[in-house]
Every structure is written in structure tokens, then in C-alpha cells.
Amino acid sequence: MAGRGRIDLVGLFKRFPDGTVAVDGVNLAVEDGSYCCLLGPSGCGKTTILRMIAGHETPTDGEIVIGGENVVGQPPSRRGTAMMFQSYALFPHLTVRDNIAFSLRARGVGKAERYREADRVIEQVQLAALASRLPAQLSGGQQQRVALARAIVTKPRVLLLDEPLSALDEFLRLQMRSELRQMQRQLGITFIHVTHTQLEAVAVADQVVVMDRGRIEQSSSARGIYAEPKSAYVARFMGGQNVLSGAVAEAPGAVLRLGGPRGQHFLLAARERRPARGQTVYFSVRRDRVRLARWARDGAPPDNAVTGSVKAVEYQGTYVKVTLALAMAETAVNGADEFVVYVEEGGYFGDPLGVGDGVVASWEADEARLLAGGPAAGAPH
């Protein structure tokens, strides 16, 4: 059946008994067989959405449609979903094999058959040597594989992963990340993966959904989210962008001309929006699309540029992260008064900058992107 793993959330709303609204009217479509990441800071409602899809939480309002059928009110096992829990929730008294065979046992499958099925999945996640161990005797990475195997043994149409990599160390995290992606391709089922790590989301997902305070800020491809953020919140949350603001001086045709605070102008494409004259708008500039040059003069910087002094330099291997303290503090809203530039390593060491050096950071007009809304409160890293 085509589209069995397609998920549509329609007007999904959840208010907890204590009155907090965790999910505030979410509409989302996830294609069958795609890898979708729900991304956001803690408390943004992403886990609540996942738990509602799984059936461990009941929506206050709205529909959850899986494969064309509204599943609200159905028990978890009837939804064709399987969940991988953040803490793995392995049964401590059962061996790896029994943990994996558990849901088959609950369904009344005979011992021989459920062990055969379990062993097939154990093979798939490369745990054959550990099949008769107890969870307490496994490392974190091994426990995670058991949790994955337990979730896929019933051949679900949707796999729900709640922060699956958060308990692992950095090295294992990268390894499991690619294994998850591989597993998803192999199984061809829909994965919904909740995370608060930006790089994790863009690395694995076909579709990234950035959330804030119970609402979806932006949902698009990984590249779309990272390179073309729609709002100041997404730009700031994803990192890799500087968010600046300016008042609209004039809007000749498709190009906006913003007045900078020190007399310079910022030019950017208006796209579909047409802000009025005098309105303050926000725009983003990618950190790795900015040129740095030494700048010793006072006075107004050139157009599409800001000036400041080097505040910090961090070597990152393939690039150098240069943080500027802006001369016009009120311009930047990204992390108070900072402006960050990623300079290609080779270029940087041709003429290395020192802390305190005056610089001008400039960009091409088409690298600036108009953002919706104002700066969101809170400062994600």
C-alpha cells in the first residue's frame, strides 16, 4: 500500500493538566519513507509531538493521520509505530534476545518463531555475540542497538526516535548517526527523530522541522533550513548565520535598501515580502560568505559591510572562526553585539589577525537574506 508511512498532523494541540501549552496548533506532513527530524530547544514541544504520534500522550485537539487513517485514540501497538526511548527503556531482567522478542511475546507469537525473528534482527544490528547478555552488561552504544532492534522487530511503518543519540559520547554519536540513516534507507520506513542538536538534524534528515514554543518555525530540507532560514529564530538557532537589522530606507523594485546605524546601506532582495518604508527588518548573512579585511579608518563603513575589532579567534581545522565586537553594537542581534566570520584556513594564515585588530566584514548583496519577524528571545548557541 503506497503511503502507509505518511504522517499528517492537522491542527495538533496539546495542553497539559497544569495549563502549559506544549504544542500549539501544529500542521505538518511527512512523506512516506522519509527521515524527518524535529529540532528545537528543550521545552519546544518536539518530544510531546513524538509521544502523541506514538500514542503515549493524547492530543487535546487535532488529528494525527498515519497512512490516511486518523490514529488518535488508538493504542500504540495498533498504530504501526514503534518508539525508541531516550533512556532506551530496555527491560533490565530480560536478555538482549528476550528484549527484542518482547513485542512478539506480547502478540502471542510462539517461542521458536519469535526467537527466529529476534535473531534475524539481532543479525541486522550486529549483536549476535551478545544475544544472551542482560542490558546492564552492555555499553551505551550496544544498548542503543538493542533498543533499535526491539523497535524494528515488529516491522513498523513509522519509527519514532526520542533523542536517540543524546546518551552517547561524541565518537559513538557520529557512528550511530550514520547507522541510523543507513538503517532507515534499508528499511524504507518513515523515521521521526527528535533532537536538539542542529548538526545531527541536518546530517541525517530529509526534512528538518525547527520548532519553538510549541509551533513550527520552519520545515524544509536540511539545506533549506541551514542555508535559507526563513526567520531570525531559525537563523540564530541553526547557527552559521549572522542576524542584522536595519530600517527600510527605500524599496526600489525587488531590492530593499536598509539604512545601517553608521550611515552605510544594506542591500538585499525583497523576495515575496514588501516591507514598508521606515520599518525595521532583519536579515541574515552566512558566516562563511563574508570577506574580512583590515580597517583602520573611522567613519562610515562601505555598503553591505560592518566594522569592528577582533574579539576572539578560534582555530577549527578546516576554517578559522573570527568573532568581531561590532563598532555599532546595536546593529547585530545575533548574540548581543557579535558578528562571526568563518575564514577559510589557507586564506587566514596568509595574513593572520590578532585580537583587537580593526576589520571590515563585507558581503555580496545576494548573500543577505530577508528574515520574517523580529529577533526571538533567548540565545541558542
Partner 1 sequence: MLSARVRVALQVLPLALVLLVFFVVPIGFVVAVSFFHYDDFGIVPAFSPENYAAVLSEHLTLDLYLSTLRFAALVWFFTLIIGFWVAYFLVFHVRNQLVAIGLFLVCTVPFWTSNIIRMISWLPLLGKEGLINRGLIGLGVIHRPLEFLLFSDFSVVVSYVHLFTIFMIVPLFNSMSRIDRSLFEAASDAGTSRLQTVLFVVVPLVKSGIVLGSIFVITLVMGDFYVVRVMSGGSRASVVSAMFDDISVLLFPHAAANAVFLIIIVVLMVGLILRAVDVRRELVDQR
Footprint of partner 1 (CB under 8 A): 54-56, 75-78, 81-83, 85-87, 89-94, 102-103, 105-107, 134, 136, 150, 154
Nearer to partner 1, 15 or 321 (CB): 15
CB 105 within 8 A of CB 117: no
- In angstroms, give the least distance from the CB of 74 to partner 1: 11
| Beta-carbon count within 10 A of 362 CB | 20
For partner 1, give the closer residue by CB, 132 or 280.
Answer: 132
Looking at the Cβ atoms of 150 and 177, the one nearer to partner 1 is 150
* Shortest CB 77 distance to partner 1, Å: 3
Question: At its nearest, how many Å lie between partner 1 and the CB of residue 38?
Answer: 18
Instruction: Evaluate whether 6 touches 189 at the Cβ level (below 8 Å).
Output: no
Nearer to partner 1, 114 or 236 (CB): 114
How do beta strands 207-212 and 35-39 pair? parallel
Q: Which is nearer to partner 1, 23 or 53 (CB)?
A: 53
SS3 117: helix
> If we measure between CA atoms, which residue out of 169, 98, 185 comes closest to residue 135?
98
CB of 42 to partner 1, least distance (A): 17
Q: At a CB cut-off of 8 Å and minimum separation 6, what does 269 contact?
A: 254, 255, 256, 365, 366, 368, 369, 370
Closest separation in Å from C-beta 48 to partner 1: 14
- Burial letters for 231-245: b for 16+ Cβ neighbours within 10 Å, e otherwise? bbbbbbbbebbbbbb
Give the CA-trace dihedral at 77, 8, 90, 178, to 10 degrees: 140
Mention every residue, 6+ apart, whose C-beta is less than 8 A from residue 93.
134
Closer by beta carbon to partner 1, 75 or else 356:
75
Nearest to 146 by CA among 188, 199, 91: 91
Q: Of the two residues 77 and 309, which places its CB atom closer to partner 1 in the complex?
A: 77
Report the nearest approach of partner 1 to the CB of residue 230 (Å).
35
Q: Sheet with 280-286: list strands edge to edge.
A: 265-269, 255-259, 241-250, 280-286, 368-371
Minimum CB–partner distance for residue 70 and partner 1 (Å): 19
Contact between 325 and 280 (Cβ < 8 Å) = no
Q: What's the min distance (Å) between Cβ of 1 and partner 1?
A: 21
Which residue's CB is nearer to partner 1, number 118 or number 310? 118
Rounded CA separation 53/7 (Å):
9
